A = this chain, B = another copy of it.
Amino acid sequence: MVDKYASWVPSSGVFPKGFKVGSIATNVKKNGELDLGIIYNTHQHPPESSLTSTAAAVFTTNRFQAAPILISKHVLEATGGKGIDTIVINSGCANAVTGEAGNQDAKELVEHINRKTSKANSTLMMSTGVIGQRLSVDKISNGIDRLFEENNVSFGDAFESWLNLAKAITTTDTFPKLTSGEFTLSNGVSYRLVGVAKGAGMICPNMATMLGFIGCDLPIASSALQNIVRYAVDRSFNCISVDGDMSTNDTVYMVSNGAVETDVIEEGSTDFYKVRDQVVAFSQQLARLIVRDGEGATKFVSITVKDALTFEDAKIIARSISNSMLVKCALNGGDANWGRFLCAIGYAQLQNVQSLDLEKISVSLVGSEEEEPSKLDLVLNGVPELQLDEEKATELITRDDIKIMVSLGTGVEECTFWTCDLSHEYININADYRT
């Protein structure tokens, strides 16, 4: 077994200016581990400036949305995403299916923080953990008090503080998910991004599949930021499949505080797309970490559908393959079972029937993401490779990292999904989790 912690958790980082983070154990998690984290923007623009920190969000489309989502949506609507300075995240209790009482609990905590920071409508919340249980408002507000006491001494802006935050938001994760980096725009100035996430396949009642936060020190309008986050989520967190289930708490927030005081990035400019590419890459990195931490996963599998008529149909096909239990079993068993890939392609509910031409489709195996030259065709232009090199196929598909490439031959669009295999361990984890 790979040591996932050693392989995937960084040991240093470079973080956006102006953000401070603090984490604490409130005893909501019964094992005494960190279970409350706060991300706090300390950079304030002068009162005469029209600039503020800006926030954007993408929430689960599950009809049962948890209380922290409902409350945070109100805050975003009231502010248009301007002036969001604090993100509070608790783990151990999802505050989901808790009705109006649960909404009041979330609201009380959010307003408690607003009082601490002396700024109304500046806090968003995320929760993850057991559903159907009320939040311990006392424990959490006590934790908030302790974090903010003595001039915020518990907050830090260095690697250790961010790593603790990443730990504080985990539930069944086997490792914290943290990434950070620097990029330069056309003005020659460098900016920094940080990303944290939690997720390891959905466990109900510890049901939140994933939470994510991305922070940046760029000045940018909320509407532009919202476009970037929506675009990035569609190509990252919405392109992973551990078990195909979707939770009540899934949330991704991005906050950009403009602590590097350059001109505001204009939507549609070259720099806007550069930033978008950075956020996509960051989101994909975090998304891949969630798949690597998939419950019971023994394989990390990239499924790229290319030469497609539309991005949407490329995604629908990639998702169909990624979610197929039979494909996941074949991957677990190291079986290059192209028939199952074709099946899943064939029953994908495409938006445009012309996206799929049975005589143009090719399916190949590639050793890993980096090794495209070593690809082995399983099906070429709709015809199965009868003289298949089974030995090579087995060698490729029994690796820890697998890449499956589907070429539709009907266009130029492309989408990559990341998935994992279905193992006995997944069933062990999920068969009697609650009891």
Contacts and interface: CB of A to CB of B under 8 A. Distances in A.
B335 A433 contact: yes
B347 A207 contact: no
Interface of A: 61-64, 96-97, 99, 131-132, 202-205, 207, 243-248, 323-326, 329-330, 332-340, 342-347, 356, 358, 379, 382-384, 386, 390, 394, 422-424, 426-427, 430-435
Interface class of chain A by DSSP: loop
B246 A63 contact: no
15 contacts: A97-B382, A132-B338, A132-B339, A205-B337, A207-B343, A244-B323, A245-B324, A246-B347, A248-B346, A325-B430, A326-B430, A329-B430, A332-B431, A333-B431, A390-B435
A384 B345 CA distance: 39
A431 B329 contact: yes
Given A335-B433, A339-B131, A347-B62, A204 B326 contact: yes
Contact of A346 (B62, B323, B356, B434): B62
A61 B347 contact: yes
Contacts of A204: 326, 337, 339-340, 343
B434 A337 contact: yes
A394 B325 contact: no
Contact of A427 (B247, B345, B422): B422
B343 A243 contact: no
Q: How many copies does the complex hold?
A: 2
Contact of A432 (B326, B335, B338, B340): B335
Contacts of A435: 333-335, 390, 394
Nearest to A202: B326
A334 B434 CA distance: 10
> Which 5 residue pairs spanning A and B have beta carbons closest together?
A333-B431, A329-B430, A333-B432, A204-B339, A64-B346
Contacts of A63: 345-347, 356, 358
Contacts of A330: 430-431, 433-434
A245 B202 contact: no
A338 B96 CA distance: 13
A434 B335 contact: yes
A240 to B, nearest CB: 15
Contacts of A345: 63-64
B430 A333 contact: yes
A344 B326 CA distance: 20
A347 B335 CA distance: 31
A391 to B, nearest CB: 11
A246 B343 contact: yes
Nearest to A359: B99
A344 B244 CA distance: 10
Contacts of A424: 424, 427
B62 A207 contact: no
B343 A248 contact: yes
B431 A64 contact: no
A353 to B, nearest CB: 9
Contacts of A390: 435
Contacts of A342: 64, 97, 131, 248
